Amino acid sequence: MWICVLKCPPVLRMQSVGLTRHSSHLSAAEYVPACSPTDPNEVQKLQNFLLRSQRLFVMTGAGISTESGIPDYRSEGVGLYARTEQRPIQHAEFVRSQAARKRYWARNFVGWPQFSSHQPNAAHLALANWENTGKLHWLVTQNVDALHAKAGQRHVTELHGCTHRVICLGCHTVIKRSELQEKFIALNPFWNEQAYGVAPDGDVFLTDEQVSHFRVPSCDTCGGILKPQVTFFGDTVSRELVYSLYERLSEADAMLIVGSSLEVSVCLPEHSC
pLDDT category at 15 given cuts 50, 70, 90 is very low
In whole angstroms, give the CA distance from residue 124 to residue 64: 7
Task: Flag whether pLDDT at 92 surpasses 70.
Answer: yes
pLDDT category at 64 given cuts 50, 70, 90 is very high
Q: Given the residues 124, 137, 160, 164, select the one marked as catalytic.
A: 160
Name the residue with higher pLDDT: 83 or 250. 250
Give binding residues as ranges. Answer: 168, 171, 219, 222
Tens-digit pLDDT profile for residues 168-194: 999 999 999 999 999 999 999 999 877
Give binding residues for Zn(2+) as ranges. Answer: 168, 171, 219, 222
Q: Tell me, what's the pLDDT at 17? A: 39
Look up 160 and say whether it is catalytic: yes
- Which architecture, in CATH terms, is 2-258? 2-Layer Sandwich (3.30)
Domain ranges of the chain: 2-258
